[in-house]
Amino acid sequence: MRMREVDIESELVESRVHLRSGVTSPPLLQHSHQPRVPHQLTPDQDAPIAMRPGRLYCRNAGKLWAHSRPKTQPLALSKLSSPTLPRCIRRFSSSPISQQKNIAVIGAGITGLSTAYRLSQDQDANVTLYEKSSNFGGWLQSEVINVDGGDVVFEYGPRTLRAGLPASLSTLELLSDLGLEDAILAIRRDSPAACNRYIYYPDHLVRLPGPYPGRSRLVSIFKNFLQLRSEPIIREAAMEWFSGGQGAKRDPSIKDESVASLCSRVFGPNAANVIASAVFHGIYAGDVNQLSARAIAPVLWELDVSDQGVLMGMWQHRGGHRSYDIEQAHKIFGSRKGKPGISKETFRVGMGASVLTLRGGLGQLAATLESNLRNAPNVKLKTNSDIKYISQEEKHLPMTLALADGTTNTHDYIISTTSPAALGQQLVESGKDLPSNFTKSLTKAHHAVSVMVVNLYYTNPSLLSHQGFGYLIPAVIPYEQNPERALGVLFASESSVGQDTAPGTKLTVMLGGHWWDDWQESDLPDEESAIAMAKTVIGRHLHVADEPVVARARLQRKAIPQPTIGYVDRMEELHAGLGEQFGGRVKVAGAWYTGVGVNDCIRAGRILAAKTLSGEEGVTGLEMYLPENFKRVKTLKEGEAR
More confident residue, 642 or 175: 175
pTM, 2 dp: 0.85
Which uninterrupted H or E stretch holds 436?
helix 436-444
Q: Do residues 441 and 520 touch, judged by C-beta distance below 8 A? A: no
Q: Do residues 413 and 585 touch, judged by C-beta distance below 8 A? A: yes
Section 350-373 average pLDDT? 96
Per-residue pLDDT tens over the stretch 568-584: 999 999 999 999 999 99
Closest to 590 in 3D by CA, of 635, 543, 622, 628: 622
Section 453-457 average pLDDT? 99
pLDDT at 93: 42
pLDDT at 242: 79
Per-residue pLDDT tens over the stretch 58-99: 333 333 333 333 344 444 443 444 434 434 444 444 444 447
C-alpha–C-alpha distance, residues 105 and 413, integer Å: 9
Query: What single-letter amino acid sits at 126?
Result: N
How much of the chain exceeds pLDDT 70, in percent?
A: 81
| Fold (topology level) of 101-136+363-446+563-630 | FAD/NAD(P)-binding domain (3.50.50)
Closest to 456 in 3D by CA, of 544, 391, 377: 544
pLDDT at 43: 34
Section 453-466 average pLDDT? 98
More confident residue, 259 or 19: 259
Q: How many CB atoms lie within 10 A of CB 364?
A: 25
Domain boundaries in the chain? Answer: 101-136+363-446+563-630
Share the mean pLDDT of the chain.
Answer: 85
Taking the CA atoms of 273, 278, 283 and 286 in sequence, report the sign of the dihedral they define. Answer: positive
* Helical spans, DSSP H, in 41-163: 77-80, 110-120
pLDDT at 317: 66
Could you give the dihedral angle defined by the CA atoms of residues 231, 237, 241 and 244, in that order, rounded to the nearest 10 degrees? 120
Section 306-321 average pLDDT? 70
Per-residue pLDDT tens over the stretch 490-520: 999 999 999 999 999 999 999 999 999 999 9
Asked which of 26-30, 502-506, 531-535 is least confident by mean pLDDT, the reply is 26-30
Strand runs labelled E in 51-116: 72-73, 101-106
pLDDT at 71: 42
What DSSP assignment string belongs to 307-352?
SS-HHHHHHHTTT----HHHHHHHHHHHTTTTS---BHHHHHHHHH
Q: Long-range contact list for 68-71, CB < 8 A, 24+ apart?
A: 68/550, 68/552, 69/145, 69/147, 69/549, 69/550, 71/145, 71/146, 71/147
Taking the CA atoms of 323, 635, 42 and 623 in sequence, report the sign of the dihedral they define. Answer: negative
More confident residue, 54 or 285: 285
